[in-house]
Structure 1
């Protein structure tokens, strides 16, 4: 019975987080009220405060949950079998382009949507963003190092700096895509990425 109750409690919490992520990815943090999230999730308001002490705490946990899933997906992409690391990296940026569009990101563009807004609004949420984005850059840097070592790609400079620059490039492109209502910034970002991370074609 205890296990069942704990499982149900976890399900309710995850449902609130998933619903909030989907709605806030479209509208932002400040524009979304708790009632909208809870009504959509089918959860009474009292249940919200059982899991989250405030909307700010909810936002912090939302970002942590988002990045946990994002990093797991990134790890999976960067460990795909029968591919060079260069191919895996290019696959990652293609997935970014396909999923972070302005049409309907289904919660997948949460960091892009909330970064500028909440960084000045809440220190705990800013730190959650910093930790999450640092995790992405660290993984990209490690992957670039592996790619250079295996001979599938070439770069100029330090892998950490290259990874940081590439992440910032794609983050900026994601914002411009929303401003322009066009995917052209992603095409530009991909061209620059291919110039920075030079894929070495395998010898025939």
Structure 2
């Protein structure tokens, strides 16, 4: 196995630091000087790695979506009833060391901002949400089969509405600076889905 090249490590560091800065300030609030300073990259080097700020944003979102889906796939792969897996996924949204879904979700942070700013960035986030909903539909079907989830007439629609509820709860939690909306979403999910 070969180790990553220095340029790949630098690019990865820029993306990682950029994600943290975007979560703090939004995409519009991200200054390239601050990003490069935080990343420890010389000022003129940004365009070696990315053709534009939008290209950086697209790559950052692709990495974010890949990380998010990998974490969800790891939960889905657990050898426990589907309701327990779904509960684990949504319970993690309430928070932990990295904060709640309201603090760390780029969909919550950027959906409204980038929808009018960049069609490419909007599309990446939209496809990410669609992929999450498809995985949740798989969990719903698996739960119906193993008897841990209440049967839904349309698992895809149920999954989409469920994730929409969580995104809305995260936005309200961010506005209110309270975990209450996420706690309510978890209680509602458990009541409506779990046997």
Bin the TM-score by the shorter chain. Answer: over 0.9
Structure 1 residue ranges without an equivalent (≥5): none
Matched, 1:127 2:126: no
Cα distance between partner residues in 2 of 1:157 and 1:133 = 21
Q: Secondary structure of 1:13's partner?
A: helix
Q: Which residue of 2 aligns with 1:116?
A: 112
Matched, 1:155 2:154: no
Cα distance between partner residues in 2 of 1:102 and 1:127 = 21
Matched, 1:188 2:176: no
Q: How far did 1:102 drift?
A: 7.8
Is this contact kept in 2: 1:101–1:177, CA < 8 A? no
Q: How far did 1:155 drift?
A: 3.3
Q: How far did 1:47 drift?
A: 2.2
Q: Which residue of 2 aligns with 1:136?
A: 132
TM-score, normalised via structure 1 length: 0.89
Structure 2 residue ranges without an equivalent (≥5): none
Q: How many residues align?
A: 192
TM-score, normalised via structure 2 length: 0.93
Distance 1:73 1:187, change over 3 A: same
Q: How far did 1:191 drift?
A: 1.8
Question: Could you list the runs of 4 or more consecutive aligned residues of structure 1 that deviate by over 2 angstroms after TM superposition?
Answer: 99-103
Q: How far did 1:35 drift?
A: 0.7
Is this contact kept in 1: 2:21–2:35, CA < 8 A? yes
Which of 82, 86, 91 is the matching residue for 2:83? 86
